[in-house]
Amino acid sequence: MTAPTSKSTNASIQAFFPPTPIPSSSPTKRSSSPAIGDGFTTSEIEEALKPPPAKTWQPPGDYTEVEIRDLYPGPQVVTFMGRVANIYDVINSPKTPKSAKGCAKLTVKDDGGAITVRVWWASRYPIVRLGGLVSVWTGHSKSFRV
């Protein structure tokens, strides 16, 4: 058996690839060429750093404003306001839509009645507090008991 050579004992990458010589003269900067940026203008950067305030959502169509006691099951384009009287989280079940991460059920109450509203969420749990005033826009009401 022969003794290993110095090349076989040094198995690092530097043993296989010799270092590239660095030129002795430093590269000169060209003053005639413009500075290379990231492609964004100053106004685009300012707009990204200071976005405009969020606009209040307005529905695209006309919704009839009703009280909770005037709701009936079926298709209807209505809006109503009320206070959150109860909040409970629904654990995901086989009936949960694929895009939803969960559902919060809110009991919303006004002077004339109360109704359960399901709020399906995808990215974060809705920020709702007991006693908070909420507005609900819906195109359909399910059956419920008074």
Residues spanned by the domain of 105: 64-141
Eight-state DSSP code of residue 107: E
* pTM of the complete model: 0.55
- Say which CATH number the domain at 99 has: 2.40.50.140
122: pLDDT strictly greater than 70: yes
Domain membership of residue 100 (yes or no) is yes
Query: Which has the minimum average pLDDT: 16-20, 46-50, 142-146?
Result: 142-146
Q: How many domains does the chain have?
A: 1
Domain membership of residue 42 (yes or no) is no
Tokens representing residue 121 in the block = 């969420």
Domain membership of residue 108 (yes or no) is yes
Mean residue pLDDT of the chain comes to: 78
CB 95 within 8 A of CB 80: no
